[in-house]
Amino acid sequence: MSSERLSVFRPFQLIALCCVFIALALDVVAVLSPAWVTSDHFSLSLWEACRQALDGWHCLSTLRTDWQVAALVLILAGATITLLAFLVSLTWFCRGAYRQYYRIAALLLFAAAVLQVCALILYPIKFIDSSMLKTYHEFSWGYGLAWGAAIFMLGGAILFCLRTDLYEDPYY
């Protein structure tokens, strides 16, 4: 009699790895985005504020105000931690499923998501508090991409926390 073991492939770690990659890509595009806040003749990004005059656009650095520097540092720290989590999870996904390393990646992603959400809450509060624009303005696609990155970070972290070994090990 031969004993065959049926193994079911549950791609939670692969989907989590894809979520982390998407979060990293969205974060990079959001950081490089020229438009976090826009109005008729104004554009604000993480790096510069631009106003449209009769002779063209005039841009100044936003790194002079403390809240904009804090938001940028929080976003960059979250992106760096996300990159580290991606590298850890990719390395151990290619080598084999080692649950403790996925837990480390999940913890890193939770920390990155907390930093990202803190920056995304700080940014509009301090923007409105500083009264940069007295006219109609809207938070643009760069800000929305940063929220998308935070959502994918949380999704990847939750998927890395799932215990797939319960389904695969008959002696557990």
What does the pLDDT profile of the chain (172 residues) look like in tens digits?
555 554 444 688 888 899 999 999 999 999 999 888 888 888 888 888 888 888 888 888 888 888 889 999 999 999 999 999 999 888 887 876 666 678 888 899 999 999 999 999 998 888 888 765 567 778 889 999 999 999 999 999 998 888 665 555 444 4
Q: In what order do the strands lie in the sheet with 56-61?
A: 56-61, 48-53, 42-44, 37-39, 138-139
What domains sit in the chain, N to C, each tagged with a CATH number?
A: 12-37+66-159 (1.20.140.150)
Separation of CA 125 from chain center: 19
The pLDDT score that the predictor gives to residue 76 is 95
The pLDDT value recorded for residue 8 is 45
CA distance 158 to 13: 10
